[in-house]
Amino acid sequence: MFSRVLVANRGEIARRVIRACRALGIETVAVYSDADADAPHVREADRAVRVGPPPAVQSYLNMEAILQAARQTGCDAIHPGYGFLSERAEFARRCEAAGLVFIGPPAGVIAAMGDKVRARRLMHQAGVPVVPGSLDGLPEDPAAAADAAEAVGYPLMIKAAGGGGGIGMVRVAGPADLPAALEVAARRARQAFGNAALYVERLLDRPRHVEVQLLGDRHGRLVHLYERDCSVQRRHQKIIEESPSPALDEATRDALTAAAVRAGTAVGYQSAGTVEFLLDRDGRFYFLEMNTRIQVEHPVTEMRTGVDLVQLQIRLAAGEPLPLAQEDIRPRGHALECRICAEDPVTLYPAPGTVTAYREPSGPHVRVDSGVEAGTAVTPYYDSLLAKVVVWADDRPAAIARMIQALQAYRIEGVATNIPLHLRVLAHPEFAAGRHHTEFLAELAAARPPV
């Protein structure tokens, strides 16, 4: 087992990794930018090292500064959390070259799944259904790109080949919209991922977003920990997740989890990872992407299975065999997570400021993973996520009721948050009935009367 781990992240996921390391008897080193010098994760780690000024590219994305911090503090390994460097194959390779263990899958797996076109081809070869679309990147020639789009059929979605997470996606209704959409998508892809390559997929009508949690070790064992439904999204970013998915029957669930295991097996997956699918209105599912890291919404699975995913991720990186067989994983009840963001609850745009008062909800089966406290400055440099509220109950209606109570008790002052939006969604009859989809929030916003 490792003796000291550098946590190459910030906010709630840095605190989550620090807790997991402490439970395993591992010392931790935090890194921080100037904007986060007084952040809770800095204080909670055993040591902390400044890695640069506030912009992420000069701090949390600064590979050399983070590797130097690990070397100078005598770390054995680096945990990247999610976002930032967590899915950078180059960073995983540089960790290995520096004699440090990257707590995640091998660099080759990250590279294969990070190239979305290559990932689609691999899944197609493994017999995993993929969304109808191109198995090759879009040609740069506009006429050839138009022919490729026509072959897929409209409406369609242009996506970045070098990245995921909903970043850079552009919807195209018809051929007349394609040239401008290609230009916008290429620009966004270049800015976000340093790679302007694109591909196209058929646009599914109001699909569900369902993902399967995987765990794999270095010895060839791979298991799934069932699914999470992440269909409540704004601008292709998840804000509410739950397990089990209310959209699946048992036959579809069995087929979905089996497909996820085939996907992981096809790439020799190790560590914690997630296979994401879209589920159409007829109950057919399609591979969307694989996230080669711990997910923001991992507590949903932890609450339902009793498995500490972050501790296991660390143990697997240390070379331990997976201590679970598939039959050992027995989920129970219903878990629900709401992402609490510093956002205007109507426009959903970030709302920086300073948290002036803070009190978390508590009670049986209520968990809060937070990155802030009273006095924390919420800056425009990073993601607007403040905390995650997670609840568990025997069934879905009881979980929704418990979440409503928890959110009503949550006190965050000084910054606007999306808690009012969460309460509106949780009280909506379509959500209560489990009939929501990825366009649900957009339709809800459109139906809202003007203020």
The two tokens of residue 365 are 């089966």
In 3D space, the residue among 17, 45, 13 whose CA is nearest the CA of residue 31 turns out to be 45
User: Are 390 and 299 in contact, with CB atoms under 8 Å apart?
Assistant: yes
Asked whether the bond before 155 is cis by omega within 30 degrees of 0, the reply is yes
With H, G, I as helix, E, B as strand and everything else as coil, classify residue 260.
helix
| Tokens standing for residue 335 | 């878990």
Of these residues, 16, 88, 120, 293, which one is catalytic?
A: 293
CA angle in degrees (0–180, nearest 5) for 19-21-26 = 135
Q: Rounded to a whole number, what is the distance in angstroms from the first to the last CA of the chain?
A: 57
Q: Which two tokens stand for residue 431?
A: 């959500």
Contact between 245 and 229 under an 8 Å Cβ cutoff? The reply is yes
**What are the contacts of 418-425 at 24+ separation with CB within 8 A?**
418/239, 418/339, 418/340, 418/341, 418/343, 418/345, 418/348, 419/340, 419/345, 420/345, 421/239, 421/345, 421/346, 421/348, 422/239, 422/240, 422/338, 422/340, 425/232, 425/240
Residue 253 falls in the annotated catalytic set:
no
- Taking a C-beta distance cutoff of 8 angstroms, is the pair 418, 348 a contact? yes
User: What's the angle, vertex CA 275, arms to CA 269 and CA 279, rounded to 5?
Assistant: 155
Cα radius of gyration rounded to whole Å, the chain:
21
Residues designated as active site:
293
